[in-house]
């Protein structure tokens, strides 16, 4: 194969792959586990309000990304768009920010997978399982882009099927048709007990707001996958259009069903974490319906969700690293592709960093690992800010150059409200990271710094590149649209 052909990724992702990547991107532990904690923290009304607000923001972000990705389908989307439409220094920083975010996410998913597997094999070796799961993720990514697409397709099918069954069982229980403690319509009793529907005040709501933001991170992967779609002008808009319904069905309706069936005062909702799958709100509802083996089934589903997140993290971070290398912003050896169009060196480098971060969880009570994890959490919101800014600048440059919006394959609605709303909401979440900690009254000063550690890292990379290369914000008339 010629060198020229080797330098191109293979466009082997079908529309069904991209649709499922978009549909399954944000269905994971955030929905299966954190949703219960959100209801306990802010009450049913607070949880619904927080997830709905973040859901609207994510919808606007994805429409912005949809317009960019259909016009310019690039695997290094976050870096490329900011470089072309804002400032090369911002593009450089966003690219490395995105890579770091998902490399550390791989490590966190390895930790989660070992905890989940201990449900069945409590005395087994954690290191063995982490190596096994990392090997599976690497194999799926090294195989081919179609291997990644197919694996994510079936991972998403499992998650979506689980949610649909849960919603069906929950609605039957609400109307007293299945399970339940009383015959007939359950009513809104759980929305009126205590200080429901809103509990804990503004800061409790803000805390859930941030948790909801973390839950939705991963939806932007469709922008990276667009670079290897066989028909991005058709598949990307179709995947983006699914997002509103996904948010409505998978999060808002699921939280509503949980809140109807389980009071926010339930002590089980307060304990939901990966170490005790029996208190997943999904498990609680299934058990209340009389479905045996509910915990084992949900444990298996959550394990597939964790593997899916790690799989997607490996795919996205390796593609971003490959693009950075191709643009001269990362070591050149990371820009090489195999004959199947796979960035092997980028995958190996990402795997090594993910494994090192995972090993950090075994030393010093995991302090280093938790710092990395907090830095990673901030990175997701920074990436969303980059999407909003890039789309705003792209649309203004596009119109300024006299081009017609009718020529765009996909046009984001509500411009400029959409990107401006998403930008403002991301800023609020970033600034408010430590407010729930402050209001708790019991904290150390390091607790206040940990959520913000990703911000100075990002600024250091951005300003360092800017000072070294003396880059400036690109005038709209000079933005590279072609």
What is the mean pLDDT of the segment spanning 417-433? 89
pLDDT digits (tens, 9 = 90+) for 36-91: 888 988 899 999 999 999 889 988 998 999 899 899 888 767 788 999 999 999 99
Percentage of the chain with pLDDT > 90?
A: 31
Tally of domains in the chain: 1
- At residue 334, the pLDDT reads 93
Q: Is residue 230 part of a domain?
A: yes
Q: Is residue 255 part of a domain?
A: yes
Stated pTM of the model: 0.88
pLDDT digits (tens, 9 = 90+) for 190-238: 888 887 788 888 878 888 887 788 788 888 888 777 777 888 888 888 8
What is the pLDDT confidence band of residue 107, given thresholds at 50, 70 and 90? Answer: confident
- At residue 7, the pLDDT reads 61
List Cα–Cα distances, 101 to 180, 217, 314, 475, in angstroms. 42, 11, 11, 30
- Burial of 35 from C-beta contacts in 10 A (0-12 / 13-18 / 19+): buried
List Cα–Cα distances, 10 to 72, 147, 173, in angstroms. 16, 12, 47
Q: Is the preceding omega at residue 416 within 30 degrees of 0, hence cis?
A: yes
- Give the Cα separation of 339 and 343 in Å (integer): 10
Tell me the angle at which helices 35-71 and 77-85 cross, rounded to the nearest 10 degrees. 60
**Stretch (H or E) spanning 313:** helix 294-326
Token pair listed for 318: 């390796």
Measured over the CA atoms of residue 313, residue 318, residue 324 and residue 330, the dihedral's sign is positive
**Stretch (H or E) spanning 85:** helix 77-85
CA-derived radius of gyration, the chain: 22
Q: Is residue 196 part of a domain?
A: yes
- At residue 2, the pLDDT reads 35
Token pair listed for 286: 């299934």
Helices (H) and strands (E) in the chain, counts: 21, 0
**Do residues 136 and 306 touch, judged by C-beta distance below 8 A?**
no
266-286 per-residue burial string, b: 16 or more CB within 10 A, e: under 16:
bebbeebebeebbbbbbbbbb
| SS3 category, 337 | coil
- Give the Cα separation of 287 and 429 in Å (integer): 35
How confident is the prediction for the chain on average, in pLDDT?
A: 84
Q: Which of 132-136, 323-327, 445-449 has the lowest mean pLDDT?
A: 445-449
- At residue 392, the pLDDT reads 96
Q: Is residue 399 part of a domain?
A: yes
Q: Is residue 406 part of a domain?
A: yes
- Give the Cα separation of 101 and 95 in Å (integer): 10
What is the mean pLDDT of the segment spanning 328-343? 90
Concatenating the DSSP letter of every residue in 374-386 gives: HHHHHHHHHHHHH
Closest CA to 430 of 480, 381, 464, 384: 381
Q: Is the preceding omega at residue 55 within 30 degrees of 0, hence cis?
A: no
Range of the domain at 248: 3-467
Q: Which has the higher per-residue pLDDT, 39 or 109?
A: 39
Q: Is residue 479 part of a domain?
A: no
pLDDT digits (tens, 9 = 90+) for 294-325: 888 888 998 898 888 888 889 888 999 998 99
Residue with tokens 């994805």: 62
Residue with tokens 């400032």: 87
- Give the Cα separation of 450 and 448 in Å (integer): 6
Token pair listed for 210: 């941030």
pLDDT digits (tens, 9 = 90+) for 352-376: 988 888 887 777 556 776 777 777 7
**Do residues 260 and 170 touch, judged by C-beta distance below 8 A?**
yes
Q: Is residue 131 part of a domain?
A: yes
- At residue 94, the pLDDT reads 94
Kindly report the CATH number assigned to the domain that includes residue 51: 1.20.1740.10
Q: Is residue 264 part of a domain?
A: yes
**Do residues 167 and 253 touch, judged by C-beta distance below 8 A?**
yes
């Amino acid at each position: 194969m010629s060198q020229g052909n080797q330098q191109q990724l293979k466009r082997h992702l079908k529309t069904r792959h991209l649709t499922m990547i978009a549909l399954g991107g944000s269905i994971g532990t955030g929905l299966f586990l954190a949703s219960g904690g959100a209801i306990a923290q802010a009450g049913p009304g607070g949880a619904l309000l927080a997830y709905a607000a973040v859901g609207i923001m994510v919808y606007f972000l994805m429409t912005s990304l949809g317009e960019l990705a259909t016009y310019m389908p690039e695997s290094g989307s976050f870096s490329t768009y900011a470089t072309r439409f804002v400032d090369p220094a911002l593009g450089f920083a966003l690219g490395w920010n995105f890579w770091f975010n998902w490399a550390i996410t791989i490590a966190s998913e390895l930790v989660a997978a070992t905890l989940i597997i201990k449900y069945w094999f409590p005395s087994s070796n954690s290191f063995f399982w982490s190596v096994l799961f990392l090997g599976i993720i690497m194999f799926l990514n090294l195989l081919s882009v179609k291997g990644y697409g197919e694996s994510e397709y079936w991972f998403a099918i499992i998650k979506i099927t689980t949610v649909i069954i849960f919603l069906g069982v929950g609605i039957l229980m609400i109307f007293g048709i299945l399970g339940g403690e009383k015959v007939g319509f359950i009513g809104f009793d759980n929305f009126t007990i205590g200080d429901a529907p809103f509990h804990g005040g503004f800061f409790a709501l803000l805390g859930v707001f941030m948790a909801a933001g973390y839950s939705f991170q991963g939806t932007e992967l469709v922008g990276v996958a667009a670079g290897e779609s066989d028909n991005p002008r058709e598949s990307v808009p179709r995947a983006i259009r699914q997002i509103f319904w996904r948010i409505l069905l998978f999060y808002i309706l699921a939280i509503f069903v949980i809140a109807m069936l389980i009071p926010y005062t339930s002590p089980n909702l307060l304990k939901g974490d990966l170490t005790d799958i029996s208190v997943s709100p999904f498990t609680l509802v299934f058990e209340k319906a009389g479905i045996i083996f509910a915990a084992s089934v949900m444990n298996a589903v959550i394990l597939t969700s964790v593997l899916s997140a790690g799989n997607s993290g490996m795919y996205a971070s390796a593609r971003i690293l490959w693009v950075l290398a191709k643009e001269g912003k990362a070591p050149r050896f990371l820009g090489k592709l195999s004959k199947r169009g796979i960035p092997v060196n980028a995958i190996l480098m990402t795997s090594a960093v993910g494994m090192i971060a995972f090993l950090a969880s075994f030393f010093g009570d995991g302090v280093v690992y938790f710092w990395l994890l907090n830095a990673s959490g901030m990175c997701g919101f920074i990436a969303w800010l980059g999407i909003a800014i890039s789309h705003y600048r792209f649309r203004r440059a596009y119109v300024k150059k006299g081009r017609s919006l009718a020529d765009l394959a996909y046009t984001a609605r509500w411009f400029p409200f959409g990107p401006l709303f998403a930008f403002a909401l991301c800023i609020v979440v970033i600034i408010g990271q430590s407010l729930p900690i402050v209001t708790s009254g019991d904290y150390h000063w390091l607790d206040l710094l940990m959520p913000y550690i990703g911000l100075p890292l990002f600024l250091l990379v951005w300003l360092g590149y800017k000072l070294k290369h003396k880059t400036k914000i690109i005038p709209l008339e000079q933005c590279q649209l072609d």
